[in-house]
Structure formats: C-alpha cells, structure tokens
Structure 1
Amino acid sequence: MPFVQHADRFCSWYSSDPADQIPVTPDWWGPAEETGWPHVGECRNCGERGHVWTPPPIAPEVRDNASAFARWMREAISHQAGRLGGSAFVAHRTEADVALMDWHGPTEMIMMEGANPPRRVLRCRECSSADYPCRTLRMAAAPYRFDYPGHRMEWLWAASSSAGGV
C-alpha cells in the first residue's frame, strides 16, 4: 500500500485495481518522472500536494529474533516429543503446540498510528493485533524453557521494541 507524506502527516492510498496503485496525480507542468510512477504531486486521497513515501523494511534483528524463537520452539517441541516413555498427554500436547506454531506464525504488516510515519512490523498471523511471538505462543513455549536450553527471557513478555518494528 503506497503512502503520501504531507509535511508531518501521512495518507494511504488503496485501490483494488492493480493498475491504479499510483497514490499521487503527477504535476502536468513538471518534468517527467525518471522511472516508475510519479513521486511528487497531488495526493489522490486528500487532494493536497505531497510525495510518495515507502516504510523502511523490518530491522534484521527483529527478523532474527522471530526466526530464533520459531526455531527454538520447534526444537523444544521435538525434544519433548522424542523422549522415551512419554505419556499420551505429552504426545497430544506437543502435537497441539506444533499446530499452534503453524496457526500463529509471523506475518509482515504496515501499521499507521496517529501522526507517526507508517512502519513495517511482524505480527502474529492469527492474533493480528499482537507482536510476534504472540501471547498464545509465549504461553505455549513457557513450560519448554525448563527442559530445553536456549530460551530467552524476553520471549516471556511482549516487547514491542524487540518484536515490533524499526
């Protein structure tokens, strides 16, 4: 979704028509744009002059943290499920936790909050309003931390700075 910046505020432009994703109407009197769509012009959302703005990518450390959590959780589940003499409860619990991992995987979203610039964040696919790892996965992971090494304490609590964005 393209955005248009007007001094200190942002507009978003959305159209279901794939050929109509240009967020600004180009100035008729200005020089032709070098490549792609125009970058400066009249906002198609509010009519004010502005320039096209794209949110920066998610920070590598945020992606690394999400990958580390998912990897640790899958390894911890496998470790628990692979123990000899495990009960039927443990087998079913680990199966349920694998399903939770699939349902509550990370997805990239763009958030607009008030007058702040839009930003890219990793959110839970199922709980879309929660940071990744979401509360459901953090609660499912909590018991494994006693039995499998490598758990990070920040995974127990929601931490917007470690899971949220830029």
Structure 2
Amino acid sequence: MGTVLFMPTLNPNSLKIGYVILINTRKFAITKLQHKAGYGESSKWTHVAGSLGGLTAIEANIPRSRLINLQKEYVDRGYEIKVMRRKNQEAGKRYKVALWWATMNNLPYDVLQFFWFPLSIFCGKIGIVLHNLFSSHKRFLCSELIVTGFYKEGDYLFGKPAENVLPADFDNSGLFEEVKDIWIFAR
C-alpha cells in the first residue's frame, strides 16, 4: 500500500469577513528583520492579508493590492497560515474594516518603503525619520494596508503609525485570538 497524502482544505464558513490572515511566506529577510526588532516566535509571520469572507482575501503585494483565493494562493502551495480575529470586536466594525480594505483593491504597492524599511531598523532614530520620509500615503505594504482598516474605524490597536506596523504585530494574544476551526478534514 502506498502513502496517501492529504492536502489541507480551508473551511470557507470559518473565514469571516474582517478576520486577519497571517502567512509564513518563508521570506528570510523579513523574518530576520522582525526577529531583530524583538518579535521572537512571531517573526515567522512574514505576510498579512484581510479576509473578505470565505476563501477571498485582500493583500498588498507587488505590483499592487489584489483579491486572492487563500486556498489556491497559499494553502495549496504549502504555506503555513494562521487566522486571527480581533478580540471583542462587534460584527459591524469587522464589516466596516473589511469594506475599507476592499476599497483599497488595485492600489500600487509601496516598493520604495519595502526596500527602505529593513535599513531603517539598523539606522536608529535617524532611520525612523528617513523611513517616514520615504513612506507613501497613497501606497501600502501588506501590514500597513490591514492595520489602516482598523485605524480608520478608530481602533488604534498597536499605538504606532501604520507604516511602522509589521506582520508579526498581528500575532498578539492581547489584541487578537486565533481562530482554530478553519480546516475541513476528509472522512
């Protein structure tokens, strides 16, 4: 008898609008950057997307923000994901946050900030000033797109500017709880 491998399958009924999706894209530079910034085990989460319900999510990625199918884009390709829900958030707020994310579809990715950010971590206070100088207010990085949706609804969850938020910030048990029932298992 041969070995049977099962591909994990997301349960679309478990992925609610306004949930945050953490993805381990195995990007070494981002992992190192977050680890150096003190995120420890959370450093493995190198990308973040926002659930629009079911398998559909929005992400900021090169060349522009876009809608994706989580199953096809990440799960089927072997990437580890973690689904987070904002603690004590009303359903209406979740919808408003996700609606804002959806309106940001097709915006250009902030490539200049993406390349500048790792350098700013190593340059101390002058690095942060330069990072903010190079940050665009009309383009987003992945974590910046997702956190701005919360900020637009008055939920300033991290206490820092959106352009300084990293994917690992969302792996925060004080602010978010993991949604565990996200898989469909074959019988």
TM-score by length of 2: 0.19
More helix by share: 2
TM-score by length of 1: 0.21
Greater length-normalized contact order (CA 8 Å, ≥ 6 residues apart):
2
